[in-house]
Structure 1
């Protein structure tokens, strides 16, 4: 949704060339992305990065032959679910540090500061003030008191997850940083649009024996992060629209879902 990617062939070898859109320079710190994505490659969860220009965001990476974007139907395959869980745990449990801290509330406040027409944001829906207030309550309850922060991808849409022979790779580390692992899990479940049964099936693999014991607490925290993500990417979309990038009803969809999720969360 944010970049142009080209398949490039040089001397019978293939690479992916990324050309970012101009507005991304406001939203993304390329120095952070460069450091984190190379570290993720060292960990083994990212493809190899061959060239990265931290000023322009132009990037050249290895083309992963035989890979494809993860599909929702893949997540119903036990072997694939185990591999996704293994990859996430490998990232989240590594004793390494990304160069930056990703705070969803800080990102939200920053995105709001970038809006040229803040009145459009504040008047977009009658519940905006309530949503913002709820966001701050969740920050006080969960986000600002995380006991564990880990290397996180922070943008786990299915398009950023590649499957190759039952091995999982995560690509596009633009929003990566140290964060609660729950943020990644919440994003993955939200973006894959898994229902309650499918979500619990995955969570049983990721959390193991811990999940049945703390099921309700884990699910409530996941929903809290999903609420924050929908509100964050809603504002992100408004910024894009102010710079003539349009994604249909994406902003409305994100906002309306955040309202539904808010009603499910127990404070």
Structure 2
């Protein structure tokens, strides 16, 4: 996405049920087609030997065993093709890799949305991270985000939570079945004064946009952030609030996380500002789930999710009032 252009696709990166990865190891037709269309894959990875699908919503991701090693191969989903600026993602990924917190790509075709990185050996699966009350994870994530936010690089794209919320709200105006579930969230749409997440004194920093458990890989000596599709310049409170919520950090873990962030030299947002952003993050999640309901998707999955996130957002605002 061109610099300064609004990134309004937060609805795509929330923690919802992922796709199954139980398919057998095999060379799938999609991978064979990718090799045929992009002959450099043969040069970089060597001939494919086996591939196992990994969980994912906006991409098809495979753990690829090939002649030259083990890789992660990402192929885009057609239904998400128009929602992601792959050129901006590729540029931001290279900048993040230069800071040492992103896995460097060994092959990247921004036009096709194909990305290959070497596999990182992790200490636990991404799905396990959110279930382990780990101070080491909180500390490592705080250090990584502080390093990114303080790097001084300029990412392409703009992630503005207020604009995302306004766009979601407008899109749901005529969804009759969602009106009751939206009650109370209108307060989150408004800037809540200078010095808060919606104020006019914001400093924008290069942001990952989606530091959820599935995008954190802990190796033996560091944490890597993956999937930079929704990266851009944003209020630093977005990454911090989103990380605390999606990793379900305890109060003690949050303090470890923020202290590690501050230790990098990055400025921790005021408590009220961070609290407001937590409410905005949950409101984005709730409205995203309501968008799925309006589109006719499974009510048993998305309605409880929407209600849980809406309730948490409103409780957070009540604590701040």
TM tier, smaller:
0.7 to 0.9
Give 1:170's aligned residue: 225
Asked if structure 2 preserves the Cα contact closer than 8 Å seen for 1:148 and 1:180, the reply is yes
Give 2:188's aligned residue: 134
Displacement of 1:136 after TM fit?
A: 1.4
Give 2:144's aligned residue: 87
Please give the secondary structure, in 2, of the residue aligned with 1:165: coil
Displacement of 1:75 after TM fit?
A: 5.1
- The change in CA–CA distance for 1:57 and 1:235 in structure 2 (over 3 A counts) is farther
Unaligned runs of 5+ in 1: none
Asked if structure 2 preserves the Cα contact closer than 8 Å seen for 1:234 and 1:252, the reply is no
Q: What RMSD, in angstroms, separates the aligned Cα atoms of the two structures?
A: 3.1
**Larger mean Cα displacement after TM superposition, 192-201 or 34-43:** 192-201
Give 2:246's aligned residue: 191
Give 1:157's aligned residue: 212
Displacement of 1:247 after TM fit?
A: 9.2
Report Cα offsets for 1:128-165 as digits up to 9, x if no partner. 25312332143875334243211111111111001001
- The change in CA–CA distance for 1:233 and 1:135 in structure 2 (over 3 A counts) is same
Displacement of 1:251 after TM fit?
A: 5.3
Rg larger in 1 or in 2?
2
Equivalent residues in 2 for 1:179-258 (5 A)?
Answer: 179-207=234-262, 218-239=270-291, 249-250=301-302, 252-258=304-310
Displacement of 1:183 after TM fit?
A: 1.0
**What is the alpha-carbon distance in structure 2 between the residues aligned to residue 74 and residue 21 of structure 1?**
31
Please give the secondary structure, in 2, of the residue aligned with 1:5: strand
**What is the alpha-carbon distance in structure 1 between the residues aligned to residue 226 and residue 162 of structure 2?**
24
**Larger mean Cα displacement after TM superposition, 84-93 or 65-74:** 65-74
Asked if structure 2 preserves the Cα contact closer than 8 Å seen for 1:105 and 1:139, the reply is no
Count the aligned residue pairs.
258
Unaligned runs of 5+ in 2: 1-17, 19-56
Please give the secondary structure, in 2, of the residue aligned with 1:143: coil
- Are positions 1:47 and 2:99 aligned together? no
Displacement of 1:91 after TM fit?
A: 0.4
**What is the alpha-carbon distance in structure 1 between the residues aligned to residue 158 and residue 140 of structure 2?**
26
- Are positions 1:76 and 2:76 aligned together? no
